[in-house]
Structure 1
Amino acid sequence: MTKYSSEFKLKIVQQYLEGKVGYKALGHIHGVHHRHIGNWVKLYEQHGTEGLAKRHTNYSVELKLNVLKKHLENSWSNQQTSAYFNIPSPSLIGVWLRLYNQGGETTLEPKPKGRRPVKRTSKDIQTLLKKPINELSHEELLQRVHYVEVENAYLKKLEALAQQKVLANKTKSK
């Protein structure tokens, strides 16, 4: 979704509240989907101009659970729930509900930030290959087997490509 300024949202909400134009017409005039306008109006009605302000928030697991509880108890739509809790994107409610249904509370916890674990370097692999097999741990043996399998598949593919090239040259020369 395109990011819109608070002033722009307020201008559209005020035009809607004047009662002369509906969501769809306003959306057409300003190039905004009418669902966004509906959400902005609900946020404005619940929270005033603060509801239209841009926010970058990390929501706690407790808040997410409270939101889902209220959402389900009252049979509210995602839009009604997001307006009540001043959550700018109604689609977040649907995401949280899906995650909760898939795996419970733990799926609502924030994902760890940062880099992925570093993979083994070629130096690590060379050390692993030079080490005698009887000195390797179970995990190291599995890593070594995996490396040898990948290497074998690569060599087979390389051989197949070389054979294709030879056949292509033979057919061209005929």
Structure 2
Amino acid sequence: ICTLFTGQTSKEGIFMKYSYEYKKECVQLYREGIWPKTPAGTNEKTFRKSIRLWVRLEELHGPEILKHGNNINWNPEQKLEIVSKVLTGNSIKSVAIEAGINPGQLHSWLSKYKIYGYNGLVNKKKGRKSDKETMNQRNKSKPKELNESEREELIRLRAENEYIKAENEVIKKEIALRENNYAAQLKAKKQQSSKNSKKKDTN
């Protein structure tokens, strides 16, 4: 039976803060074909969805992702690069699993980005700001904001390039398929022509 968990539900209602040992045990039971007992006060469907997600994360990133996956200190550029993949048409779930974070976390980044732009992805210091920090924030120069915007544009363009590359790969596959089909048709015609010539010779 799985033990060691805390019952704090995430904003998206998909992930709860379970211990590393608990996640590992749940994943192991799942691989053995056993569903762990759903914790009290937790929706069974949601809980099982979480387990399947842990399994996929572990398969892609190894068991350590279950320990620190949500505690990685992502910088704003990394966050924007991940968010941009969603903005170019990929699903939140697939991008989150690829990055090794939970979909709720990515959904939060996406919402902040849509409201505040790049600044919404900047990690804010915990605790009350000092008067000096407040003054420095107010006195931020215009060029610094411009640099952030340029950085944001660069990362956005990278994401768009990835999307274009993916489209090009699809086009290449379609062209290769057409060429193969054309070659097969030519081969069939040659074979038919050869059969017809043999028939004429026998006649």
Instruction: Identify the TM-score tier after normalising by the shorter chain.
Output: 0.5 to 0.7
Answer yes or no: is the 8 Å Cα contact 1:5–1:54 preserved in 2: no
1:102 has 2:115 as partner: yes
| Deviation of the 1:95 alpha carbon | 0.8
| Deviation of the 1:47 alpha carbon | 0.9
**Match of 2:50, as an amino acid?**
H
Q: Aligned partners of 1:48 and 1:91: how far apart in 2?
A: 20
Written as runs of structure 1 = structure 2, the 5 A alignment for 1:1-174 is: 1=8, 2-18=16-32, 20-21=33-34, 25-26=35-36, 29-31=37-39, 33-54=47-68, 56-77=71-92, 79-87=93-101, 89-116=102-129
Alignment gaps of 5+ in structure 1: 119-174
Alignment partner, residue 129 of structure 1: none
**What do the CA deviations read for 1:107-163 (whole angstroms, capped 9, x no partner)?**
111123332457xxxxxxxxxxxxxxxxxxxxxxxxxxxxxxxxxxxxxxxxxxxxx
C-alpha RMSD over aligned residues: 2.3
**Match of 1:63, as an amino acid?**
Q
The structure that has the greater radius of gyration is 1
Q: Aligned partners of 1:30 and 1:92: how far apart in 2?
A: 23
| Deviation of the 1:41 alpha carbon | 1.2
**Match of 1:106, as an amino acid?**
N
Identical residues among aligned pairs (%): 32
Answer yes or no: is the 8 Å Cα contact 1:42–1:80 preserved in 2: no
**Match of 2:113, as an amino acid?**
Y
| Deviation of the 1:5 alpha carbon | 2.4
- TM-score, with normalisation over the residues of structure 2? 0.47
**Match of 1:59, as an amino acid?**
W
Deviates more, 1:109-118 or 1:46-55: 109-118
**Match of 2:17, as an amino acid?**
K
| Deviation of the 1:13 alpha carbon | 1.1
| Deviation of the 1:74 alpha carbon | 4.8
| Deviation of the 1:15 alpha carbon | 1.8
Q: Highest relative contact order (Cα 8 Å, sep 6+), 1 or 2?
A: 2
Q: Aligned partners of 1:40 and 1:92: how far apart in 2?
A: 14
